[in-house]
Amino acid sequence: MATIRFTKMHGAGNDYIYVDTMKYPVENPEQLAIAWSRPHTGIGSDGLVLIGRSDIADFSMRIFNADGSEARMCGNASRCIGKYVYEAGLTTKTEITLETLSGIKVLQLHLTADNRVESVTVDMGPATDIHTVALGEGYDFTEGIAVSMGNPHLVLFTDNLAQIDLTEVGPRLEHHPLFPDRVNVEFAQMRPDGSIRMRVWERGSGITLACGTGACATATAAVFSGLTRGETAIVMDGGTLTIDRDPATGHVLMTGPAVRVFEGEIETD
């Protein structure tokens, strides 16, 4: 039996359990992500995030969805890790490099007057593999836009977001045959002020209140479709992220909040 200390954090409502594996090694993250994410019998979360040492960056991140599957990248968790490591005194840097399965990301911390991390900008790298996909028969949408942010996304623009039944169409599209590794699905509606309202069905976690890589994919798909140019606010159920593009590198820049909810300890067998 081992006792593991964890921190529950959220970014725009996308909530994960964070464990510092430099202090508390975790041997079976896939099983623990499933057990701990359950709302009634576990801690309750969208998944599990492991913060670790890295030989090539300041820290490393591993992210497991609520179904135990490992993802290559998570935007909201990367911001929360910036807050975690700075406020825990693990670094004094305000520019932090983070090793992920989709490469090294650079986090820029934005501090309050009393030295807390209020928000974080993450250089998410380039969006890649952007293309229109035909969904085929049996779907209300004829086509969507596929975008990779290190992890796969399918963005669908609609004029009536309120009418989308995420619990019905989300899982069907997550398992669409075009995406053998499954896909994160974003439904998006342009708003008169140029911002985008978006709701997400996440691969491996279902409906979440926000998705950082999904917000980047949505902003990228909007530019690809000629709907927006430049900085875009992506308004999700749990909060808003600002997505921009670095003109020098073409990289996607994501800015948003990171919030610590509570700490606790949990026993493993």
Query: Rounded to 10 degrees, what is the CA torsion of 122, 91, 30, 126?
Result: 20
Asked if 205 interacts with ligand LBFN2T5F (CB under 6 A), we say yes
Asked if 82 interacts with ligand LBFN2T5F (CB under 6 A), we say no
Asked if 148 interacts with ligand LBFN2T5F (CB under 6 A), we say no
213 is annotated as contributing to ligand binding? yes
160 is annotated as contributing to ligand binding? no
| Among 23-31, 107-115, 155-163, 199-207, the segment contacting ligand LBFN2T5F (CB under 6 A) | 199-207
Between 71 and 120, CB nearer to ligand LBFN2T5F: 71
Pick the catalytic residue from 73, 154, 211, 215.
211
CB 259 within 8 A of CB 3: no
Asked if 174 interacts with ligand LBFN2T5F (CB under 6 A), we say no
Shortest Cβ 182–ligand LBFN2T5F spacing (Å): 7
What's the burial of 223, exposed, middle or buried (CB within 10 Å: 0-12/13-18/19+)?
middle
- Residue 222: which H helix or E strand, with range? helix 212-224
- Residue 253: which H helix or E strand, with range? strand 252-257
Among 7, 14, 100, 228, binds ligand LBFN2T5F (CB under 6 A): 14
**16 φ, ψ (degrees, to nearest 5):** -130, 160
- Biggest CA pair distance of the chain: 56
Q: Which two tokens stand for residue 236?
A: 């999700």
Among 119, 184, 189, 228, binds ligand LBFN2T5F (CB under 6 A): 184
CB 200 within 8 A of CB 214: yes
Which stretches of the chain bind ligand LBFN2T5F, using CB under 6 A? Answer: 14, 63, 65, 71, 74-76, 151, 184, 202-205, 208, 211-213
